[in-house]
Amino acid sequence: MSSDKLMELTDANFEKEVLQADVPVLVDFWAEWCMPCKMVVPTIEQLSEEYDGKVKVGQVDTDTNRDIAIKHDITAIPTLMVFKGGRIVRKFVGVQQKSDLKAAIDEALA
């Protein structure tokens, strides 16, 4: 992760940083070995910069944070979810267009 706006989300901090957040949160469930996951990273980093202060953006490494991945039924990666008020409001599986992710974030901000 190269953007300083991109959070590392873990089993330990997920509830505080995502479920209890007072702003929408875009979560990228990924793994180091996953090539499609690596394709999503530049988009996720751009969104973390563009929405700085309005939305949290973070990544969950599903290899090292299995509990949270299992709890959210992650069966394929990359999976991207937009949370608002502790609830999942949008879920995407696979590589996504930036415009689709922006639309989901904007909807959560409305």
CA 70, CA 63: separation in Å to the nearest integer? 11
Active-site annotation holder among 37, 44, 104, 108: 37
Active-site annotation holder among 21, 23, 31, 34: 34
Based on the residue annotation, tell me whether 79 is a catalytic residue of this protein.
no
Of 15, 20, 37, 19, the closest CA to residue 28 belongs to 37
Token couple for 25: 């949160």
Based on the residue annotation, tell me whether 34 is a catalytic residue of this protein.
yes
Radius of gyration for the chain, computed over Cα atoms and rounded to the nearest angstrom: 12
Enumerate the active-site residues.
Answer: 34, 37
